[in-house]
Amino acid sequence: MNRIDCLNDPHIAVYQEAKTADLLRKIVIFKDLSQKSLQVIEKRIQTFVFKKGKQIIAEDEAARGVYFVHSGAVKLTKQDENGNEIIVCMKQKGDIFAEACLFTQKTECYPATATMLEDGEILFLDKLELERDLYNYPELSMQMISYMSDTLREMTSQLRDVALLDVYAKTVKTLERLGNKFNTGQNRWNIEIPLTVQEFATVVGTTRESVSRVFSKLKKEGMIDLKARKIVILDWCGLCTLLHREY
């Protein structure tokens, strides 16, 4: 069967539709949509495969649309005045980024650089097309608003921790938060966070030396381990009780 025959075969067409729908259902704002709304998105979605380390969008670029992480992981970073990279947040399977480009007439540059932490697949929706769909399909709008609200609460909580907690508490809380994000299988052991100690320190908002001291303590207690460019949570339950035990 050649390519044209495949495209005209109704059984294969149905299979491809089902495959696309299954892919979209893994994205937070699409998972509860009606079939009608989902079919609209299916017509517009673009899929890209990126290797680890590949830059998706830069801080000095205008965002043309919204990105959805289907697989892999993405870090959003900014540079300070000395050119040092600071990780603002991380996006995992099902997450969205660059949604800040929506609902505005401004053509300002996106406020962060998005780079792949792992090989993965990224979905993309054009800004203007998505805005039209959000206007025409209220259930899609509600899902997007709900996601943006959850993201804002998470960022507010993260900023509170950075501002008010000491280095030990900030480190443990950040490990707990990232463990939740990367623990897609609800596992309690060997949860891998794809960050180096230096990268993790920028997430916490402190120095590498300060984080290394906390990590040394946690390693002795059997809570974590360090591998090549990865932090591994060995005892999730133990980690979650640390702050209650220390304070």
Question: pLDDT tens digits, residue range 47-83?
Answer: 999 999 999 999 888 888 999 999 999 999 998 888 8
pLDDT at 195: 94
Residue 170 is classified by DSSP as H
According to DSSP, residue 92 is labeled -
* pLDDT over 50 (residue 121): yes
pLDDT digits (tens, 9 = 90+) for 13-59: 333 444 567 778 888 889 888 888 888 899 899 999 999 999 999 98
Q: SS3 of 9, please?
A: coil
Q: What is the pTM of this model?
A: 0.82
List the domains of the chain with CATH numbers. Answer: 44-160 (2.60.120.10), 165-246 (1.10.10.10)
Q: How far apart are CA 236 and CA 180, in angstroms?
A: 9
Beta bridge partners of 79: 85
In whole angstroms, give the CA distance from residue 115 to residue 77: 8
